[in-house]
Amino acid sequence: MGTTDRGLRADLLVIGFGKGGKTVAATMGGLGKRVVLVERSARMYGGTCPNVGCVPTKALVHHSRKRRPEDVPQEWYERSVGEVRALTKLFRGGNYDGLNDMDTVSVITGTAAFTDPHTVRVETADGPLTVTAETILINTGSEPIVLDIPGLRTSQYTVTSTELIDTTILPERLAIIGGGYLGLEFASIYGQFGSEVTVLEAAPKVFGLVDDDVAAVAEDILVEERIEIVTGAAVTEIRDGETSATVVYETDGQQHTLEADAVLAATGRAPATRDLGLDAAGVRTTERGAVEVDEHLRTSRPHIFALGDVNGGPQFTYISLDDSRIVLDQLLGEGKRSTDDRVAIPHTVFITPPLATVGLTEKQARAAGHRVRIASQPVAEIVAMPRAYIVEDTRGVMKFVLDAETDEILGAALLSVDAQEIINTVALAMRHGIRATELRNAVYTHPTSTEAFNDVLATIVRADT
């Protein structure tokens, strides 16, 4: 590693240990480039996903569903959290060692702030140091948004998603402010662990990103699991008591109160750019606080890139991974790959069963001027899907939106067992122009969830004339 009187000199500096940044760091380090990666927290090696995001939350989904009626909720939850902590520790160590053990890569734990366009000052436990680099990646991710509701930020009962999954105390009564996908996923998890869950959503409905028919099935599943969902709810105050919080909210002009042992703020995540000193680097941000980037993820300073949640794009680990491909193409390739290349990007919310979507909804397709055909079936009626009966969960629905003239798959919403897996098959088909008829007539292994396509796509329940 190169040094100067002021500290380290590198070919590449990565600020933040997220998926995109660590992938570029590993690739460049493998080519013998001098790489420094700075991460402010020793608990976040590897980024959000393996530490406080995808891995622990999906592990909790798994553990919550294994609880039997005779298992004491608090004991089962505490045991589950312990096992999840062991898993995240394993992933965290693997991420750290995988990079720091490379000859030309150094991982530094500390808080970085720009002092000029090529230099950052890093505050570490051993004192400050500077890092100067030719190319810099901002990869600091996002952080939970806690709304400025009276009492919410100061309440001892308010938790973020990060804090909630780190506690070993199962809240008997959990109030969730925000009925987006994060809030609903946590509602599903903690309801299954045994908490009494109430979701307060300001919008007139939940699952607003899918068509009403699919949303209704998904909401019914949560309600059947004794999760209370209150829509059109404006939370006005959080008042602390000795042993619980009182959540005050209004619906239709009427005031209501709710007692809760924990209040989860689940109203989204914002790009983490505070204290980065972006002004000193001449790096512009958007009105929403994200680092401004072009289609090649270059910032207003061409040698500085921003990857992952911090650049204001979709907040998914797999998008951050694709960001790394774009940046590596800029650094090592032809420089042609861009965010404009992304087509049919799937998404899953991990309620049980999962709800996975890709492409356009029926409403969006019609608004875009398509003549559409709809193929839709409840999972319980899909003869070619014995997998759902084998695993004893026949809840849900599969819906495809098709172009009536071209047979193109415009979009799909899969609410079913294994939806998080089979949506990738649909997305791949869409990206490569495979028509609905081909997907319907394909040969799939048995018994699997994918073979449901044989039935669902043979059933056109509604067509434009």
**In the chain, pLDDT over 70 holds for what percent of residues?**
97
What whole-number distance in Å separates Cα of residue 263 and Cα of residue 156?
9
Annotated active-site residue 446? The verdict is: yes
Angle between helices 181-193 and 54-66 (to 10 degrees): 30
Nearest to 53 by CA among 79, 91, 27, 25: 91
Structure tokens at 251: 């619906």
What whole-number distance in Å separates Cα of residue 144 and Cα of residue 266?
8
What pLDDT sits at residue 4?
A: 45
Name the CA radius of gyration of the chain, rounded. 24
What whole-number distance in Å separates Cα of residue 446 and Cα of residue 455?
13
Indicate the pLDDT class of residue 426, thresholds 50, 70 and 90.
Answer: very high
What whole-number distance in Å separates Cα of residue 300 and Cα of residue 440?
47
Residues in the chain: 465
Q: Collapsing DSSP states into helix, strand and coil, what is residue 344?
A: coil
What whole-number distance in Å separates Cα of residue 310 and Cα of residue 297?
11
Please give the average per-residue pLDDT across 3-15, as a whole number: 81
In order of their start, the domains of the chain are 2-143+270-341 (3.50.50.60), 158-267 (3.50.50.60), 347-463 (3.30.390.30)
The model's pLDDT over 179-211, given as tens digits with 9 standing for 90+, comes to 999 999 999 999 999 999 999 999 999 999 999
**In the chain, pLDDT over 90 holds for what percent of residues?**
87
Reported pTM: 0.92
The model's pLDDT over 133-144, given as tens digits with 9 standing for 90+, comes to 999 999 999 999
**Out of 115-129, 241-255, 256-270, 451-465, least confident range:** 451-465
Query: Which residue out of 62, 63, 303, 446 is catalytically annotated?
Result: 446
Please give the average per-residue pLDDT across 380-397, as a whole number: 95
